[in-house]
Amino acid sequence: MGLRKILTDKEPSLHKVCRPVEKFDHRLHKLLDDMVETMRGANGCGLAAVQVGVLRRIVVIETEEGLFEFINPVITRKSGTQEGAEGCLSLPGKWGKTKRPKCVTVEALDRHGNKIEVTGFDLLAKAMCHEIDHLDGILYTDKVIKMLEADEVE
Ligand code: ZN
């Protein structure tokens, strides 16, 4: 296990489209373990592989519902809307108000290449949208309604 350096939005790689994972080997498992440790070390609730410099379609998310690892995730359903504050480990100290779906279903593969499907509401739905956007080089600041001052964040 090991902490990886989180890239900031000044890095060109954060704006690139990531490639699908093809090998479900121990290198992938090590990367996933490192990503979870790095996310927890930074007090985040989500991290995409591109944020640690790996341009592959890999996401980890941790909410009250548990820890999720998504390989090659695709959003298959979304419904409703929610508005609220959103931040990103690659934009430390910044927050913005965004509009996201209230409910999102994601199809993906797990670390062994097995198909999984997860439906999430509220924070989990928002995190899934945010992290999957990273895989296409999109940051929340690309779709923010307005940036917030620290005292406006709940
Ligand atoms: Zn982010």
How many angstroms separate the alpha carbon of residue 66 from the centre of ligand 1? 18
| Residue of 62, 69, 86, 131 marked active site | 131
How many angstroms separate the alpha carbon of residue 17 from the centre of ligand 1? 14
How many angstroms separate the alpha carbon of residue 27 from the centre of ligand 1? 23
How many angstroms separate the alpha carbon of residue 22 from the centre of ligand 1? 23
Q: Is the dihedral of CA 21, 27, 28, 31 positive or negative?
A: negative
Q: How far apart are CA 138 and CA 143, in angstroms?
A: 9
Residue 1 reports pLDDT greater than 90: no
Average pLDDT value over all residues in the chain: 96
How many angstroms separate the alpha carbon of residue 127 from the centre of ligand 1? 9
Does this model's pTM top 0.85? My answer is: yes
Q: How confident is the model at residue 154 (pLDDT cuts 50, 70, 90)?
A: low
Work out the burial of residue 122: count CB atoms within 10 Å of its CB; fewer than 13 is exposed, 13-18 middle, 19 or more buried.
middle
Q: Is the dihedral of CA 145, 147, 151, 153 positive or negative?
A: positive
pLDDT digits (tens, 9 = 90+) for 87-140: 999 999 999 999 999 999 999 999 999 999 999 999 999 999 999 999 999 999
For the question of residue 131 being annotated catalytic, the response is yes
* Bridge partners (DSSP) listed for residue 148: 95
Classify 47 as helix, strand or coil: strand
